[in-house]
Amino acid sequence: MSEEYEGNETKLEKLEGSVERIIYTNEENGYTICDMASSDGGNIVTAVGIMPMIGAGDSLCLYGTWVHNPKYGRQFSVTQYERVMPADTASMLRYLASRAIKGIGPKIAQRIIDEFGEDSFDVIENHPEWLASSIKGLSLKTALAASESFKEQSGIRSAMMFFRDYFGAATTVKIYKQFGSASVDIAKKNPYRLCNEVDGIGFERADHMARELGFDNFHTERVMSGVRYVLTSNAMQNGHVCLPREKLKQTAAMLLSVGEDDADEAISNLLRMGALKYVMRDERQMIYDRDAYDAEKYIAKKLFKLDSMCASIDLRDIDSFIDREELKSNVSYATLQRSAISDALRYGVMILTGGPGTGKTTVVKALINIFESMGYDVALAAPTGRAAKRMSEATSREAKTIHRLLEYSFDSAEGYSFGRNETNLLDEQVIIVDEASMIDNALMCALLKAIKPGARFIIIGDSDQLPSVGSGNVLCDMIDSRRFATVKLTEIFRQARESLIITNAHAVNNGQMPTLDIKDNDFFFLKRGNDRDIAWTVVDLCANRLPKTYKEIGKNGIQVICPSRKGESGTESLNILLQKMLNPPSQYKKEYRFRDRVFREGDRVMQTRNNYDIEWNRDSDSRYGFGIFNGDVGIIEKINTADSSMTIVFDDKTVIYDFSLLEDLEHAYAITVHKSQGSEYPIVIIPACHAPSMLLSRNLLYTAITRAEKTVIIVGSRDIVAQMVENYRQTMRYTGLTEWLKNEI
């Protein structure tokens, strides 16, 4: 039976019937395709949506909309569903005979109905011992398993009913997997446990649910969860590892509409419980989430351990190694390069920093050759796939992402983990990591746990670039501590001096205006008076002018990098315009609308948060693995509306995305400077447009320029460029690593 039903936001239709067969189901998220016999005449209908743990014979009440699939025809797209328990013995028999309950098939089902009639379900759920003693062919073990299976289905049914007004079906599945049959009771007692223990449920959603359930502003659990939310949201959005107690209580009080005394009491409670930790610095309490505290303290301890435990090499031998490598490679090392090589050989921890064109790669190649000549195994790694690929190309050695080096894996029961850790250390005696400015505290902690005592750890990065997207400022904190050998390369070598990209990058970094007026080089400036003109010039460059001039690069070799997401020349507006011009609608390309975005085959897209459990495969070597990470860019190869999925190719990895994951994807024709870190592109276009002053900074412009391999084009206002060069204010992050290192813990 189908009728209209007024939902929370849109008018839904109601469809009742019984499941004839399951066509497809995803056990991880509950996405299911099934054929149903509708109750208004038995017509077979295909239903698609999140419907976990349903089986043939189930009676369902579905709420959703009718859609037309180009390949499979008319389907019912399910927004909500309820399992309707059979009320008469005939329906009960059909349900039990469908094998929906573990251990019960058609013959046993008939015997149960014959014995217990309409009480059958109550007996299965609450008296499995009666089944075992009364039903021929049913052991106590099987009866107990059947009872647990029935309770599980009852639990997920109750959860779906209870949570449907607050969360989608996919999120309800996550809740049920975390808490099982106790899900509803836990949520009623303390809904704030959901945001602390279930991925994807933030404080705001849990708070909305709590308010609906009658929790008031001052409820202890609410204020404590709000305090923790302030810490975690500041870590995610602002990179803070900790916060001053005063700032934490003020921010929490404002967010929660409670008094500062209430917020302060919650902080004290959380400190007593051990959920938070504090450290006294400059006569004020710095408050940490427990995990962040443990990670930062571990980083400091392990760095000291590595620096003190490596085998020493005689200085005369070091000079000999360097001289021999100069002859072998036919390279004459500059003084600072020689110092860098020497320090990497002498010390357990060494930091190499410097801008583009200063010879960092030359040092790395020398170190690889010298260490290998000494019989050492060397591991090369970088935070992102693109950075690792560049490292491989520059050194002619395999470089891996840090996740791959640590043998990242995912298990649906245990979550994500690293195969290389404190109990299974890396084999290599030398670990060289590039693009270290991108490494946040959590990843650095995981990496250090896997490095064996006595190994050498060489960290390479440009400390003048933007800090990591995640919390922490590891590279700069290590340099500021002055506890480790650090060499900053400053000389721009002759070949690099011929590039305006490199000389302008250094000019910007030194607070000088870049050269904008030289033609026939690799750095161009197009003056435009307002943000609308800037936007349309950028679109014209991407769609017409540059592809004609740089035919060998193609449209995907051009990347627009913006200071801001908002405004006419921000990423959000430009992505809409660029999609229309670079990948317009076509009868030959499938597309799918998700909220305010249209994803189309051929679109360039970016993952916006780490997804550790999504599976990928690689055709070139038949490898498969898990994890697509924040900032990874891919191309939509195929959209399959029949099973609500799309195929996306990230470099050499192919991933099947369920439509429920699309909130973590956005178009990547234009990206922010933060998202561009660790990547390089043949051509970079930078809109010099109006944006909040905190985004018009020197290190942001410097980072954007250094993403280009062949050409930089700045479009916009000289005044904006000058404002960025003059604005040396770097975003302050509350971290404690420098202090841990200075005080040697």
CB neighbour burial string for 151-180, b if at least 16 within 10 angstroms, e if fewer: ebbebbbbbbebbbebbbbbbbbbbbbbbe
Mean of the pLDDT values across residues 737-741? 96
Residue spans in the chain of domains classed CATH 1.10.10.2220 = 170-287
Residue spans in the chain of domains classed CATH 2.40.50.140 = 1-84
**560 and 667 in contact (C-beta within 8 Å)?**
no
CATH topology of domain 93-163: DNA polymerase; domain 1 (1.10.150)
Widest CA span in the chain? 94
Contacts with 558 (C-beta within 8 Å, 6 or more apart), sequence order: 541, 542, 546, 547, 550, 681, 682, 683, 685
- Given a cut of 50, whether residue 8 has pLDDT beyond it is no
CA angle 435, 436, 437 (to 5 degrees): 95
- Given a cut of 50, whether residue 7 has pLDDT beyond it is no
- Given a cut of 70, whether residue 83 has pLDDT beyond it is yes
- pLDDT for res 315: 79
- pLDDT tens digits, one per residue of 616-660: 888 767 777 778 888 889 999 999 887 788 999 998 889 998 887
| CATH architecture of the domain covering 1-84 | Beta Barrel (2.40)
- Given a cut of 60, whether residue 1 has pLDDT beyond it is no
Nearest to 339 by CA among 161, 188, 489, 137: 489
The span from the CA of 621 to the CA of 624, in Å, is 9
For residue 274, the one-letter residue type is G
Which of the two residues, 29 and 593, has the higher pLDDT score? 593
- pLDDT for res 155: 76
CATH topology of domain 170-287: Arc Repressor Mutant, subunit A (1.10.10)
The span from the CA of 57 to the CA of 59, in Å, is 6
The pair of structure tokens assigned to 735 is 């971290």
Mean pLDDT (the chain, rounded):
89
Mean of the pLDDT values across residues 132-153? 88
Residue 648 burial (C-beta neighbours within 10 Å; 0-12, 13-18, 19+): buried
| CATH architecture of the domain covering 310-496 | 3-Layer(aba) Sandwich (3.40)
- Given a cut of 50, whether residue 455 has pLDDT beyond it is yes
Specify the 3-state DSSP secondary structure of 167.
coil
pLDDT grade for 332, boundaries at 50, 70 and 90: very high
Long-range Cβ contact pairs of 141-147 (< 8 A, separation 24 or more)? 142/103, 143/103, 145/102, 145/103, 146/101, 146/102, 146/103, 146/104
* CA distances, 667 to each of 571, 598, 654 (Å): 9, 9, 18
- Given a cut of 50, whether residue 683 has pLDDT beyond it is yes
The span from the CA of 185 to the CA of 187, in Å, is 6
The span from the CA of 102 to the CA of 148, in Å, is 9
- pLDDT tens digits, one per residue of 280-320: 998 999 999 999 999 999 999 999 999 999 888 887 889 99
| CATH architecture of the domain covering 500-726 | 3-Layer(aba) Sandwich (3.40)
- Given a cut of 50, whether residue 6 has pLDDT beyond it is no
The residues that bridge with 380 in the sheet, in sequence order, are 399, 432
- pLDDT tens digits, one per residue of 18-72: 888 889 887 777 788 999 988 877 789 999 988 887 877 788 899 888 887 767 7
- pLDDT for res 498: 80
Which of the two residues, 505 and 158, has the higher pLDDT score? 505
For residue 64, the one-letter residue type is G
Which residue has 């020497």 as its token pair? 342
Residue spans in the chain of domains classed CATH 3.40.50.300 = 310-496, 500-726
Is the overall model pTM greater than 0.85, yes or no?
no
With pLDDT > 90 as the criterion, what percentage of the chain qualifies?
Answer: 61
- pLDDT for res 361: 94
